[in-house]
Structure 1
C-alpha cells in the first residue's frame, strides 16, 4: 500500500504517515507513550495498518510536544478532524497510552468505530479512561493480554463490556511478543466490520 508523509493541521506539530488506496474509510492510529519510545512506527500500529483491507486507509501519527495526555488528545482529535474532511467513515485505534487517548477522544468526538489494544485506565494527567468508555457512541472493541502487568487494561475492558462493546483477550503480556500480526488481524477485522 503506498504511503504519504504529511503534517496534520492544528496548534501542535503533528507528523503522520498515511497508508492509502483511496479507501472508503480510514483508521486513525494513536501510538503508545511517547516518553517510552512510542511512535507511529510502533509494531502493533503497523501490524493493524498492514492487515486492513484496501478499502480502509490508515493514518498513523506522532504526538506533538509532550503534554501529559492533554495535548496528545488534541493531536488525536486533530487527526480525526483531518480524516473526517476527507473520508465518509472514520475509525479510531490506539495501543497502550494511545489506547487511552483513542478511547477518551472517541468519547468526545464523532467516530464510526473505536478500538483499543491494552489501553491504560488513566492518562498521565489523571484523566479516567475507563469512566469515559460509557460515552463512546460507536462500535467499540477492547483487547488486552491476560499476562499484562504494565497497565490496568482489564478495568477498561470491564467498562467496555458493560457498555456493550466487544472484549477480546490474548495469551500475552503488554507487548504481544510474536503476536503482532495476529493482533493486527483481529483489530482489522473489527474495523472492517464496523466501517
Structure 2
C-alpha cells in the first residue's frame, strides 16, 4: 500500500510513501533528476517493497527544481525532518546521485539518520566531497557498488568505508545493476532494519 504526499516548503516536494502505517521509515533519494531519476526508479521501488515486507515505511521523493546538488541535499534534509514527525526511527538510502545526496544529508542532519545505505555512491557531488561526509558519520553505514561501474567514481567512497569498517558489498555488473534490483532491495532493507 502506498500513499502520495506533498511536503510544503520553499521547494515543492512530492513523496510516495510505501507502507505508511509503520513505526520506522527510510527516506530514499533518487538518482540524477536531469538523467531521468525520479522516485519511481526501479532500485528505489525495490527497496520500498523489501522494507514494506518488514513493516517499515519508505519515503521515495522527487527533488524540487534542479539546483546543482545543493537544493537536492536540502530536499533530502526536508524529507528527513518531515519523516521524523511521523516515525520513531528514520534511516536514509540513496542511489547514484542520490547516494551522494544521502551521504551529504546524513552528515549534516541533526540527529543523524538511524542508519545509511548508499548504492553506487559518487566521490563528490557538485563541489562537495562525499568521502569527507562519510568521515563525519557515526551511524551504521552500508556501501554497495558495481564492480564494472564506470558511470560514477565510487572507489574513494568504498576505500574509505572499508577503512572505517563499514559494511561494503560488491555486486557484479555496471551502474544499472540489471537483473539484480530485487536482490539489492533485500540487501538494503536487511541492513537498514537490523
- Scaled to the shorter chain, the TM-score interval is over 0.9
Moved over 3 A (4+): none
Report the Cα distance in structure 1 between the residues aligned to 2:162 and 2:105, rounded to whole angstroms. 19
Structure 2 residue 37 is matched with structure 1 residue 38: yes
Q: Does the Cα contact within 8 Å between 1:9 and 1:78 map onto a contact in 2? A: no
Question: Which residue in the other structure is 2:166 paired with?
Answer: 165
Secondary structure of 1:148's counterpart equals coil
Report the Cα distance in structure 2 between the residues aligned to 1:155 and 1:181, rounded to whole angstroms. 26
Secondary structure of 1:66's counterpart equals coil
Q: 2:116 aligns with which of 114, 122, 125?
A: 114
1:99-125: CA deviations, max 9, x gaps?
A: 0000111111121001100011111x2
TM-score, normalised by the number of residues in structure 1: 0.95
Q: How many equivalent residue pairs?
A: 191
Question: Which ranges of structure 1 fall in alignment gaps of 5 or more residues?
Answer: none
Q: Does the Cα contact within 8 Å between 2:20 and 2:58 map onto a contact in 1? A: no
Structure 2 residue 99 is matched with structure 1 residue 99: yes
1:143-162: CA deviations, max 9, x gaps?
A: 00000011011211112222
Report the Cα distance in structure 2 between the residues aligned to 1:11 and 1:92, rounded to whole angstroms. 22
- Cα deviation for residue 20 of structure 1 reads 1.6
- Per mean C-alpha deviation after superposition, the further-off stretch among 17-26 and 134-143 is 17-26
Question: Which residue in the other structure is 1:56 paired with?
Answer: 56
Q: Does the Cα contact within 8 Å between 2:76 and 2:101 map onto a contact in 1? A: yes
- Cα deviation for residue 22 of structure 1 reads 1.5
Secondary structure of 1:85's counterpart equals helix
Alignment of 1:67-86 (within 5 A): 67-86=67-86
Structural RMSD (CA): 1.0
Report the Cα distance in structure 2 between the residues aligned to 1:169 and 1:54, rounded to whole angstroms. 24
Q: Does the Cα contact within 8 Å between 2:27 and 2:80 map onto a contact in 1? A: yes
Q: Does the Cα contact within 8 Å between 1:21 and 1:55 map onto a contact in 2? A: no
